[in-house]
């Protein structure tokens, strides 16, 4: 027997390893495995070659990752061939076939190894032979991994699911928007690794950055900075007003197009919070970190970190302050991991936010912050807990500045921020309310104690609230975009004497981030309200007035203010209308089978009293549409007329998938629907 190890070839057993490592969905035909779990490759030796034997002092295996692999950085590891593998470190064992020429080589990776692209080499007496490359990911199935998650259903939802729901609207009109995360599409994993390689920390110190990729806390914080492009050449450019030169955020139906465009030509225009969060979720899941998209309704943006949102108005009821705001909704991501830097009690879901709002350590990023820290008001726990705590817990105070300069409180709330915090339920398209994971019930003893503790952290005192006249806003039942409808403000006098006041009633277009646009309605009246009675003031909202000024979010903010200057009594009420959108009907015209074209009919009724121009349907879905989504342009659709088109697509994968459809035009955008499609294997019995 020769003393030289002569390797004829190496079979990386891609299909077998991908199946056991839950990486089979990746379309990329290469070895992708998860850390802390053994994988097996087959080494074919040439006749007469020395065999692979355990405890051979002259035989070692070497794995390395990154441009500057070093032993001290854990980016280069050398380990011998042993009788068996060890599940806490890099190790190897082997078995031989009877002839001795085929060796089944089992490699165990460390559950704390940096993720990334690795090379595997065997070194025998200084002669090195490369066996191949593999990509190593975090492993939610491995109890020794920092991202380990109990429960197969949860792992399937938060790591493997390629489709999801992102919730938008207001707390009273919550609507799920389908999204194709597409983390397993061809080329997406390489782009996710490129995001890590393009981050400034890698550019300044590649060795330290690659070494730190063992830590999901570090990787998540890098992603929260790199998904936006404010400080670097990150993925998305945020824009809320002027979408010239890019794609309106509402037109995206999935992450794949965004990531491919970024890889080809740099920062993609444009994104808003749900797009930033969806891309962050895709990248996290691709890298193996369990992740969910979360929507917070009534989300505070506390720019001065005092846990109070102060809105200042003049005596005409117009807002005169900028800075703090309350968004109708805001979307971020939660990622699952341990927090050894904080303590075991802070393990679990960690909030991070890639939408660029405020800087953290000089960079537009946010988190990860432990949900436990947010719920308990532990604002000294990193990262960015005070900002996220305020998003779900800040109190709101509305103040009117009188002509003499005096500020008078007209309303306030301790309950309007952080409502119906939502995510997609496990193994279901239903909405799951997770508010109790972020905060104690509003008004409860625990909630107020946590708020006071947080205020003490910021050296502030809580403001009180003294309601006078009761003021409410009531909405119509049917408010579809394109229709005219009435709303009204009602003033109830709970006092023992008649009250007289001026009632101002405004309607303005508003973006989901709370930014007010142009007026689309106003009325006022001097009301005399007898004791124990109520008076109404109606406001008609006509499409001809609101249509030209609303955004694609289809939101109108109503504000009512009562003014009694004699008794210095002021009250305010607000309500946001989410206009109903038309329904996109999706009808399959045949059975879906692998690699067989199938037709689908798409229809939508134009509800507007005017024509829609530049109309198009976009169709996408992982495993259904290969590559970029299909866009079908249909031009003009007349008022109250039906838009109809037939699309054809060829499924590439068998199993259950989601077909996502989006309608866009000059006046109606971001109209989406989805259906489940079961793709069957092609019948080859007659071939």
- Which residues are the active-site residues? 273, 330, 353
Name the residue among 398, 229, 222, 238 with its Cα closest to residue 308.
Answer: 398
CA distance 612 to 668: 8
CA distance 318 to 312: 8
Q: What Cα–Cα distance (Å) separates residue 49 from each residue in 2, 42, 45, 54, 100? A: 5, 15, 6, 16, 9
Cα dihedral value 556, 557, 560, 561, nearest 10? -140
Query: Which alpha helices (DSSP H) does 307-465 contain, by range?
Result: 371-376, 385-393, 435-438, 445-457
Q: Is residue 198 classed as helix, strand or coil in its secondary structure?
A: coil
CA distance 674 to 687: 34
Q: What is the DSSP letter of 366?
A: -
Tell how strand 291-301 and strand 325-337 pair up.
antiparallel
Contact 258, 279 (CB under 8 A): yes
Cα 137 from chain centre:
20
Query: Which alpha helices (DSSP H) does 52-127 contain, by range?
Result: none
Provide the β-strand partners of residue 77: 63
Name the residue among 192, 366, 354, 196 with its Cα closest to residue 272.
Answer: 354
Name the residue among 298, 583, 557 with its Cα closest to residue 419.
Answer: 298
Contact 448, 499 (CB under 8 A): no
Give the residue carrying structure tokens 């994993």: 189
Burial class (CB in 10 A: 0-12, 13-18, 19+), 60: middle
Q: Is residue 281 classed as helix, strand or coil in its secondary structure?
A: helix
CA distance 227 to 503: 46
Of the chain, the end-to-end C-alpha distance in Å amounts to 50
Cα 347 from chain centre:
20
Provide the β-strand partners of residue 651: none
Contact 192, 284 (CB under 8 A): no
CA distance 17 to 24: 8
Q: What is the DSSP letter of 24?
A: T
Token pair of 395, please? 């109190």
Buried b (16+ CB within 10 A) or exposed e, 644-656: ebebebebbebee
């Amino acid at each position: 027997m020769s003393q030289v190890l002569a390797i004829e070839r190496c079979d990386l057993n891609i299909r077998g390893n991908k199946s056991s490592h839950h990486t089979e969905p990746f379309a990329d035909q290469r070895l992708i495995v998860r850390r802390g779990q053994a994988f097996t490759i087959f080494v074919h030796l040439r006749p007469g070659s020395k065999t692979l034997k355990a405890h051979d002092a002259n035989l070692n295996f070497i794995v390395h990752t990154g441009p500057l692999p070093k032993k001290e950085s854990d980016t280069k590891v050398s380990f011998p061939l042993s009788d068996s593998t060890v599940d806490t470190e890099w190790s190897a064992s082997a078995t031989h076939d009877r002839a001795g020429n085929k060796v089944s080589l089992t490699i165990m990776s460390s559950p704390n190894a940096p993720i990334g692209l690795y090379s595997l080499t065997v070194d025998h007496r200084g002669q090195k032979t490369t066996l191949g490359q593999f990509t190593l990911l975090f492993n939610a199935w491995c109890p020794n991994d920092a991202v380990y998650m109990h429960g197969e259903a949860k792992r399937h939802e938060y790591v493997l699911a390629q489709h999801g729901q992102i919730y938008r609207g207001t707390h009273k009109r919550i609507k799920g928007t389908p999204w194709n995360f597409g983390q397993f599409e061809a080329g997406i994993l390489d782009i996710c690794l490129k995001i890590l390689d393009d981050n400034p920390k890698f550019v300044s110190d590649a060795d330290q950055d690659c070494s730190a990729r063992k830590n999901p806390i570090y990787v998540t914080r890098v992603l929260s900075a790199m998904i936006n492009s404010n400080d670097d050449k990150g993925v998305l450019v945020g824009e809320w007003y002027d979408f010239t030169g890019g794609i309106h955020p509402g037109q995206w139906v999935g992450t794949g197009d965004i990531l491919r465009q970024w890889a080809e030509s740099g920062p993609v225009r444009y994104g808003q919070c749900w797009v930033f969060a969806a891309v962050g979720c895709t990248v996290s899941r691709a890298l193996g970190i369990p992740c969910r998209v979360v929507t917070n309704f009534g989300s505070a943006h506390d720019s001065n970190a005092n846990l109070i949102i102060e809105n200042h108005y003049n005596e005409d009821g117009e807002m005169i302050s900028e800075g703090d705001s309350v968004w109708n909704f805001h979307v971020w991501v939660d990622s699952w991991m341990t927090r050894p830097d904080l303590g075991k009690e802070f393990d679990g879901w960690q909030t991070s936010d890639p939408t660029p709002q405020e800087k953290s350590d000089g960079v537009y990023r946010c988190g990860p912050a432990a949900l436990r820290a947010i719920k308990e008001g532990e604002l000294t726990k990193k990262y960015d807990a005070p900002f996220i705590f305020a998003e779900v817990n800040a109190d709101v105070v509305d103040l009117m500045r009188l002509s003499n300069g005096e500020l008078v409180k007209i309303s306030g709330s301790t309950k309007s921020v952080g409502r119906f915090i939502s995510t997609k339920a496990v193994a279901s398209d239903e909405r799951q309310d997770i508010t109790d994971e972020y905060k104690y019930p509003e008004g409860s003893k625990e909630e107020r104690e946590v708020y006071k503790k947080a205020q003490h952290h910021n050296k502030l005192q809580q403001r009180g609230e003294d309601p006078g006249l009761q003021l409410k806003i009531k909405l119509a039942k049917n408010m579809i975009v394109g229709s005219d409808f009435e709303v009204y403000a009602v003033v109830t006098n709970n006092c023992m004497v008649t009250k007289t006041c001026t009632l101002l009633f405004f309607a303005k277009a508003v973006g989901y981030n709370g930014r007010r646009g142009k007026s689309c309605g106003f009325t006022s009246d001097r009301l005399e309200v007898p004791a124990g009675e109520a008076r109404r003031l109606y406001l008609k909202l006509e499409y001809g007035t609101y249509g030209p000024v609303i955004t694609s979010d289809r939101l109108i903010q109503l504000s009512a203010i009562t003014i009694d200057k004699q008794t210095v009594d002021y009250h305010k009420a607000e309500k946001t209308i989410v206009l109903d959108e038309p329904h996109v009907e999706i009808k399959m015209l045949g059975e879906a089978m692998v690699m067989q074209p199938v037709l689908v009919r798409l229809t939508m009724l134009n509800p507007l009293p005017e024509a829609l121009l530049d109309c198009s349907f976009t169709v996408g879905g992982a495993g259904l549409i290969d590559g970029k989504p299909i866009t079908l342009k249909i031009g003009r659709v007349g008022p109250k007329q039906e838009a109809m088109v037939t699309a054809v697509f060829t499924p590439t994968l068998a199993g259950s998938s989601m077909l996502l459809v989006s309608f866009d035009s000059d006046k109606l955008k971001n109209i989406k629907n989805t259906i489940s499609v079961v793709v069957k294997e092609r019948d080859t019995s007659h071939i």
